[in-house]
Amino acid sequence: MNALPRRQQNRIAKEKAILAAALKVFSNSGYSGASMDVVAAEAGLSKPTLYQYFDSKEQLFTAMMLQKRDDMLQSFADGAPGSMVEQLHSFAWHYADTVMRPDLLALARLIIGEVQRFPEIGRAYQASGPDRLLAGVMAYLEGRRAEGLLAFDDAELAAQDLWGLILSAPRTQALYLPDAPPDRAQIARYLTNGLRVFLRAYSTHIANDLATLEGLQSPVPPTGEP
């Protein structure tokens, strides 16, 4: 496969730097408090250069959230290695390693604090983040249902059950107790138990899938992101 042209490589690298700067600004200032000027300064760019990449704060916020969604759905991509249980286990850890990041937890707290006065902020966050992730999880589960590996009537409820079971409790704790976040051993306990309950509810090969899960007790290593 041919390497991308240098100009395209540079553009991709600069977009990644902008999105990293945007996450820092949004998580520090919230959606309403963030500005394109501050993002440009954080990224080491001029404001006109930033606008060559993103036309508005709304577009920048959406791109930032989509990048995180794509990170979390890596395990469900076509050609991803492993069995369904291994892919679900990998997704659970990608999900945890993303949404439990201190900067994303800080962003979520700030948005929660803003939505009463600015409902559109909550709608933007929901549409660009959780809703799009949910759609990706639903598509994956529907594919496994078509293969006869899962059985359910409502893909949305099955997807909501998946992420609710694996991380709802520790994430809620981390949101409201920022000085006492759960460690990886505690997160592993929740993830494994949540997947166990999910498989008992939806797997068509419960005994085999649970046995596979029990062999995956070692947590997926951290993503390496700060």
Q: Phi first, then psi: what are they for 158, rounded to 5°?
A: -65, -40
Q: What is the dihedral of CA 28, 29, 35, 39, to 10 degrees?
A: 0
DSSP character string of 49-78: HHHHH-SSHHHHHHHHHHHHHHHHTGGGST
What's phi and psi for 83, nearest 5 deg?
A: -75, 175
Is residue 224 over pLDDT 50?
no
Kindly state the DSSP code that residue 218 receives in the 8-state scheme: S
62-214: CATH topology is Tetracycline Repressor; domain 2 (1.10.357)
- Domain residue ranges in the chain: 62-214
First to last CA, the chain: 31
Name the burial class of residue 122, with classes exposed (0-12), middle (13-18) and buried (19+) by CB atoms within 10 angstroms of its CB. Answer: middle
Q: Where would I find the H helices in the chain?
A: 6-33, 36-43, 47-53, 57-72, 84-99, 102-114, 119-128, 130-146, 155-176, 184-202, 206-214
The whole-number pLDDT of residue 164 equals 92
Place of tokens 């991509």: 77
Cα–Cα distance, 196 to 182 (Å, whole number): 20
pLDDT of residue 110: 79
**pLDDT confidence tier of residue 190, bands split at 50, 70 and 90:** very high
% of the chain residues with pLDDT over 90: 41
pLDDT over 70 at 218, yes or no = no
Task: Judge whether 167 and 191 are in contact, CB under 8 Å.
Answer: yes
Per residue in 92-147, pLDDT (tens digit) is: 998 898 888 888 888 888 778 877 877 887 787 787 778 888 999 999 999 999 99
Tell me how far apart the alpha carbons of residues 220 and 200 are, in angstroms, rounded to a whole number: 22
Burial 78-96 (b: 16+ CB within 10 A, else e): eeeeeebbbbbbbbbbbbb
What pTM was computed for the model? Answer: 0.75
